[in-house]
Amino acid sequence: MWHIQAQICQHGFVVLFFLLPLPGKGADSPPTPGYTLSAQSVLVASGLCVEIPCTFTVPAGSTLSTRVTGIWRRTGTPDIVAASTEASMVSNGTKGRFTLTGKVQEGNCSFSISNAQPADQGIYEFLIEDESHKYSYSRNHLSVTVTDLLEPTISPVGELIAGKPITLTCTAHPAPQGCKGNITWGGRINIENISNYEREDQAGKVTSISDITVTPSQREHNSPLTCTVTYSGVSTNSSITLDVQYPPSMTITVPGYNGTYENKSVAVIEGDTKRLRCEVNSNPVADVSWWRGDGILIATSGQGLTLVLENVSVADGVTYTCLARNTHGSVSGTVSVTVASLTHDKKINHLIILMIRGLSILALSGIIAVPAVLVMRCREKRRQRQAEDNPKSSPENYEVAYCNTE
């Protein structure tokens, strides 16, 4: 068939419809002298646009009339995707998105695709129909590959420090001038300044960029920041989780007491156990320690530390300090522990005082006081023994302590 067509063309005859090569067979046939087409296969991101430069030639001696029609169609199908005339022939799927932009009469077969769809991926071929020519450039397949629309990038993802202004940049992927995107930001953080601009590369692709100035605070730690690029019809976004660094803050709690206990005083009964809980909120993690005067009691690196005061004695009635420190600062809080002797002890003390007074009176009255004291001591010894049998009974323990010190 190609031979016949070539012969006819050499003789300058009108090209006949039935001489067109059958779809898919053209590539196997030898080229027809004089008919050349030059276009490069393209990649286009879904939703974006692409301009495909293309030129073609017809054999020397033949000319294209003003009525020449250029057609792009999907190889192997009758689907016309773009034509220089008679737009009604164009298949619905590509109508308005594929455009033959070149002047066919000048041998320009350039076309453009806008808002590319995954279904646009395929192989296309160019045809001309003129009074004296009808030719399919099916040896010169043009392949269109539709890629995923790429997300923008946000940088830096580096150190955000509470209270320090920082610039974050969102960069869209390069897009042709005809379908460049708009950048918008979303998130909880307050944007103090925004600057949108673009950079054009040598190939004419435009990179949209947006710089924002923010001053992060602890409130925004772990919150998302999103950058969205909107193209005509599609949008893509990317998000980062803000990692805001801040100095430690502290809450001291004491079980049995409501609220917080920084710089407050806690009354503890002698012999009791008290837990002083120091909760720390910081980023990065703080070094936390409990101090008694200049001496460190315990230390850790983390979100909190509990100081356990066991079997407190009167000597433990001092001020305890919790100290938390990270690279951005430090904080401290204190708890003053006051150790109360048992009220029971006080009663006994009081009793003894009364007794001594009583004894004096009795002595004056001539009654022997010694047996009474012995009876008292015996009772205390008995309680002591009971206490040793049952050491968990704390009131008894205090009595024991009292007796021992006697």
The residues binding ligand NAG (CB under 6 A) are 55, 91-92, 101-102, 108, 110, 182, 186, 193, 195, 226, 228, 230-232, 237, 257-258, 262-263, 271, 311, 313, 333
Strand pairing partners for 249?
A: 281
Q: Which is nearer to ligand NAG, 117 or 230 (CB)?
A: 230
Q: Which is nearer to ligand NAG, 217 or 336 (CB)?
A: 336
Closest CA to 145 of 126, 125, 123, 173: 123
Q: Which is nearer to ligand NAG, 211 or 243 (CB)?
A: 211
Cβ-count burial of 144 within 10 angstroms (0-12 exposed, 13-18 middle, 19+ buried)?
buried
Supply the minimum distance, in Å, between the C-beta of residue 35 and ligand NAG: 17
Q: Which is nearer to ligand NAG, 2 or 257 (CB)?
A: 257
Supply the minimum distance, in Å, between the C-beta of residue 230 and ligand NAG: 5
Per DSSP, the residues of 360-400 read HHHHHHT---HHHHHHHHHHHHHHHHHHHHSTT-HHHHHHH
Is residue 146 classed as helix, strand or coil in its secondary structure? Answer: strand
Q: Which is nearer to ligand NAG, 174 or 333 (CB)?
A: 333
Supply the minimum distance, in Å, between the C-beta of residue 211 and ligand NAG: 8
Supply the minimum distance, in Å, between the C-beta of residue 70 and ligand NAG: 11
Supply the minimum distance, in Å, between the C-beta of residue 160 and ligand NAG: 18
Cβ-count burial of 231 within 10 angstroms (0-12 exposed, 13-18 middle, 19+ buried)?
buried
Instruction: Tell how many helices (H) and how many strands (E) occur in the chain.
Output: 4, 28
Supply the minimum distance, in Å, between the C-beta of residue 59 and ligand NAG: 19
> Which residue is associated with the tokens 């920084």?
262
Q: Which is nearer to ligand NAG, 105 or 237 (CB)?
A: 237
Buried b (16+ CB within 10 A) or exposed e, 156-190: eeeebbbeeeeebbbbbbbbbeebbbebbbebebe
Supply the minimum distance, in Å, between the C-beta of residue 81 and ligand NAG: 11
Distances (CA, A) of 81 to 95, 173, 285, 320, 391: 7, 27, 61, 82, 95
Supply the minimum distance, in Å, between the C-beta of residue 231 and ligand NAG: 6
Q: Which is nearer to ligand NAG, 36 or 101 (CB)?
A: 101
Q: Strand (E) positions, 33-165?
A: 36-39, 42-45, 50-52, 54-57, 69-74, 80-83, 98-100, 111-113, 122-129, 134-136, 142-147, 153-155, 160-161
Cβ-count burial of 336 within 10 angstroms (0-12 exposed, 13-18 middle, 19+ buried)?
middle
Supply the minimum distance, in Å, between the C-beta of residue 367 and ligand NAG: 37
Cα R_g (the chain), whole angstroms? 46
Q: Which is nearer to ligand NAG, 175 or 305 (CB)?
A: 175
Q: Which is nearer to ligand NAG, 243 or 262 (CB)?
A: 262
CA triple 326-329-332, angle to 5 deg: 90
Q: Which is nearer to ligand NAG, 15 or 402 (CB)?
A: 402
Supply the minimum distance, in Å, between the C-beta of residue 17 and ligand NAG: 20
Rounded to the nearest angstrom, the gap between the alpha carbon of residue 40 and the centroid of all alpha carbons in its chain is 39
Q: Which amino acid, one-letter code, is at 154?
A: I
